Every structure is written in C-alpha cells, then in structure tokens.
Structure 1
Amino acid sequence: MDVPLHSAAPLGATEPPGATEPDLVTLGIDVGGSHIKAALVAPDGALLTNYERVVTPLGRKPDVVVDTISALVAPLGRFDRVSVGFPGATREGTVLTAPNLGNDLWHGFKLAERLAARLTRPVRLANDATVQGLGAIAGRGLECTITLGTGMGFALFTDGKPAPHLEMGQHNAHKRYSYDQYIGHAALIRDGVKKWNKHVLRTVDALRVLVNFDLLYIGGGNVTAINFALPADVHLVSNETGITGGVRLWDGVFRRRA
C-alpha cells in the first residue's frame, strides 16, 4: 500500500537507529470530537496496551491538544513511530479542516511536525476514517468506511489503497442537514435512537448508490446504537481499528486479510 499523500512524516524524521520493520512498535493516536485515545500497536496490528483516553480540549489552541496528547501517551512506554487519525482533511502532515474541533484554529497547523518534535519520533497523519478503514478492510475491491461519532467520517479504498480524502460529512444529506448533522452525535440525541437508525440506514443506501462499494464498514463510538438488520455488504467494526489501522500508514505493502 502506498502511503496517502496526506499522511506524511515531517521533514528530517528518520526511523529509530537499529530498528527493523518487524520489530517496530507504533503509537496509535485517535483524535476525536469528544475524546482522544491512544495505545501501542504491534507490527501485526495487535494491541500491546490498553487504551489511554482523555477528553478532547475543544475550542482550545492546537498546541493545547499537542500538550494533551503528550501527557496522555507518557504512561504507555517505548514506541518507535506514531500514527494519528484526525477528524478532518489533512495533507502531508498538515491540518486543512477540523469541522468538529474549530476550523479557524486548526487550518494550516502542522500537527505531524509538532507531535514529532514533542514525542521525538516520526509521525504520520491521516483522516481518522482512513485510519479506521485501514484497520478494517480486506484490501480487495472497492471498500468504504464511515465513522459515527461527533460527526460522520468517510473513507474510500480501492484494493487497499486509500482514495483522495472527501469531506463527506460536510456534504448535504437531507434538507438543510449535512451528514454530520444528520447522523452525528447531536442528531442521535435530538432525534432519538429509532429515527437516528432510519437516517443511518438511508445514508448506507445513499452511499451504495454513490460509490457502488463492495463492502461498507461502520465504526465509531455510536456504532453500538445501531439496531437495524445489517445488509450482507455492511459490517460493524470495533473502535480498536481507529488505533490499529495506524500500523498500515507505515507498511510499504498492504497485508491482505485471509
């Protein structure tokens, strides 16, 4: 798998001396609209530690988030490289949009570079739905991932390779609502579980027409609220994939699942 253009190590970052790829431990960080999670991941994608989790400091300057991440990962132990899933559009280690964190504060922020300097390890950055998808997909055909959390994340893959990022959560879903507003967390609270599930199912149907996916994976914190019968081409995935998928940002070759 080629690393997507929006997932890049900062200039000057190098692999730790003496480490080889089979031995490298990845620190996976999942930045969400409500919480930031982190854990250490083995080269095969297995979790080496339990999650550490902290409330996301919304509305604060990005450097406060960097400080928060640094404090969060301190107890986890040794790691060789870092992957970060971020809820917005990113390119070459830089944040372009952050709809649920405060766009104006984040636009142009070199998050990968700042974290690499703080954590003294190379960092790669991608959209959080892309990272979650990398932890879930089989690597065959056209696969799609959506995440149900504060908003709706979206990622698309062809034979394991991520497509250019689309901010589908900001696209119009129904009447005046974007998909973030239609099936995000505020919609679940506003509309209740029954109506929210209808909206999620309508979204699945709309995405099937739009992208003609072979398989769709649904993850995120609100996936536990889904109560409709899943079509054969739709699978629910664990929140762990938002962390474990970070290993594949560093893999030179996509390792297909059996």
Structure 2
Amino acid sequence: MGSERHAPRAHRHLIRGRSVFVSGRAATRRRGPGVSHLGIDLGGTNIKTAVLSGDGGELEVVARDSRPTKAAGGPETVASRLIESGRTSWERHGETETVGLGVPGLFDDSGAITLFPNLPGDWDGFPLRTVVSEGLGKTVQMINDARAFTLAEGNMGAGRGSRIVVAMVLGTGVGGGITVDGRLHLGAFGTAGEIGHQTILPDGPLCGCGNRGCAEALTKASVLTELAGKESAEEVYEAAQSGEQRSIDAITEVANYLGIALANAVTILGPERIVIGGGIAKAGDLLLDPLRRSLKQRVTLVPIDEIEVVPAMLGSYAGAIGAALAGMDQFAVRSR
C-alpha cells in the first residue's frame, strides 16, 4: 500500500455535517435527495463496489457487490473488469452521479500507474483512470486503497465522531492515513499519513520502499507467518487462540512494533481515536491488547488513556465506501 504521489488539490464534502478532502480535479455536481455515488475498490482477488445515497448532509450505503478481479489477465483485463463492475452496479441500482476508484498502489496526476506491487502484469504507465473514465463515460477520481479505508472509517465507520483519527490497515503491506475533521490530511506533497513507512528499527530489514526498519517491514503478514512458522495469518490466529505460545509470541512481537509506530503518531498528532483494520487485524484482542500496552508504555506527553484503539467497522467494503466518498466533488474546492 502507498499513497498518491501528487495531490495538488483537495475537495470538500459533507458527511453528516463533516467535510472531506480528497485529491483530484473539481467538477460541478447536482445535490439533493436521491443523488448517489459509486465507489469501486480494486483488489488483487476481488473488485468490490459500493453505492452511497443521500443528500450532502446524510449518506448511507445502499448497495454492495463483488466480482473476481482476474488479475492474471493483466492491465487491460483488469480495466475491463472495473468498467464491467461499474456498469453492472448501474444496471442493478441506477446510474450514479459520481465515481471513485480505489487502487492498491501509486499513480501520477493523470491517473497512470507508477507502482502496483501486488498485481501481475506490466502496469508501469498504464493510464487506468483514463481507460476507466472513457469506459464508464464519466470522470473517475482515483485514491489509494489505504487512503480510501481511512476516509471511510474516519467518516462512516469506527472513527466517526472523532476530530482527529489515525488509521492503519494491516496485510501484505501496512498502509494508513489521517483524517482531521473528516478530511484526509495529505500534507504539503500529498504523501502524509504513511505510518507504515517510518523507521522503527535502524538497520532493520529492508522495506519495499527502500528504507530499512520500517514498521511495514517488521509487521506485515509475511513477517507474522514467518515468526509463527505458519502458512497463513489465519493459521497464526487459530493457533494463538488455542494457546500455542510461538504464535502468541509472534503476534505480540508484531503488536509491539505497531505500538511503537502508533506512539510516534500519537505524540505528533494527538488523535482521539486509532482505527486498526486489514487482514492481520482479524486477530482481534490477541493483537489489540499487546498493541495497547506497547502504546501506553511509550506515550508520556499525550493523555493516552483518553485515546481509543478500536477495530475497523466497515469490513471488506471499507475501500469501496471510501472510494465513493473520494469521488464526491459537488462542493467548492479549497486548497490545503
């Protein structure tokens, strides 16, 4: 997971009285009851869609769908599947006013792919936003999948009602983001919130970003399974739940490093709530309890007992919901 390389603009949206900033270009949209918004989440295994409906101040999820990605077919096949997903959603639920697309990698200002580490094929430079926009006949806004997760959970999930939310999504990589008053905080260069790519262990293992000792390099799913001697994260959770010490120790080690990463974020940002999601988070309190202990040990300048560490609420459709929010641009544009 990563972030957009450039986010030159930000859009403002209202979700139950809160505003949201996402990257992309401005467009004039209708407002009012019945207006709907489509989010498409591109995953390595499945493409998920979600439709949000309602006026500017009150939104709800009214439809969810899923279909296989067929990623082995490469960029053209996947792009066709994305277009089919959008059109199928429109056939079932009616055409939406806006479309947002969440993707598991990096892209440039034009929506051309710069890095898709977990999808097969030659994606470098593939004009995904252009292809999907032309296929749907509607301008598509793109957002990184971890940012989409953050946007969704911060506004319609476990972070709702909190002014500052830090989110982490744990899986093959470690992504994350920050919302402030419901808006994605992207920083001066559109890259803020990469919690997984802070140095935790100097001279630690090499990370995919090129740095050593990043939180991601110490806590991603493959590290957990290696520590526990298991084939999958699910096997680790099951073994830990049945009392196997090696698996319990593996989860605790990962949780400890995550606690260090989040302690840094808490000290700098002072969030009211931390939302944890993704595949590894399915370990539940086996992960969250030692993570909370690690966090509490390392935060001294912020009232840590007032900060909640909670599991994500929106499940596997968080990315699609966040993409739908990212596609909404019916309000005035304001610079960061």
Partner SS, residue 71 of structure 2: coil
Q: Give the AA of the match of 1:176.
A: P
Q: Give the AA of the match of 2:65.
A: Y
Is 1:50 the equivalent of 2:64? yes
Is 1:145 the equivalent of 2:171? no
Aligned to 2:221: 185
Contact 2:219 2:257 (8 Å CA) reproduced: no
Q: For 2:148 and 2:41, how far apart are their aligned partners in 1?
A: 9
Alignment CA distance shift 1:91-1:216 (3 Å): farther
Unaligned segments of structure 2, at least 5 residues = 1-9, 13-20, 155-159, 208-214, 229-235, 237-247, 293-306
Contact 1:96 1:108 (8 Å CA) reproduced: yes
Going by fraction, where is helix more abundant, 1 or 2?
A: 2
Unaligned segments of structure 1, at least 5 residues = none
Alignment CA distance shift 1:36-1:225 (3 Å): farther
Alignment of 1:61-80 (within 5 A): 61-76=74-89, 77=91, 78-80=94-96
How far 1:142 moved relative to its partner? 3.5
Is 1:23 the equivalent of 2:34? yes
Percent identical pairs in the alignment equals 23
Alignment CA distance shift 1:8-1:219 (3 Å): farther
Aligned to 2:100: 83
Aligned to 2:323: 246
Contact 2:42 2:69 (8 Å CA) reproduced: no
Contact 1:8 1:92 (8 Å CA) reproduced: no
Alignment CA distance shift 1:172-1:129 (3 Å): same
Higher Rg of the two aligned structures:
2
Alignment CA distance shift 1:185-1:243 (3 Å): same
Contact 1:155 1:165 (8 Å CA) reproduced: no
Q: For 2:32 and 2:256, how far apart are their aligned partners in 1?
A: 41
Aligned to 2:253: 198
Q: TM-score, normalised by structure 2?
A: 0.62
How far 1:106 moved relative to its partner? 2.8
Alignment CA distance shift 1:7-1:244 (3 Å): same
Contact 1:31 1:84 (8 Å CA) reproduced: yes
How far 1:66 moved relative to its partner? 0.6
Q: Let me know the Cα RMSD of the aligned residues.
A: 3.2
How far 1:245 moved relative to its partner? 2.2
How far 1:57 moved relative to its partner? 0.5
Q: TM-score, normalised by structure 1?
A: 0.78
Alignment CA distance shift 1:187-1:100 (3 Å): same
Q: For 1:34 and 1:199, how far apart are their aligned partners in 2?
A: 25
Alignment of 1:1-12 (within 5 A): 2=11, 6-8=23-25
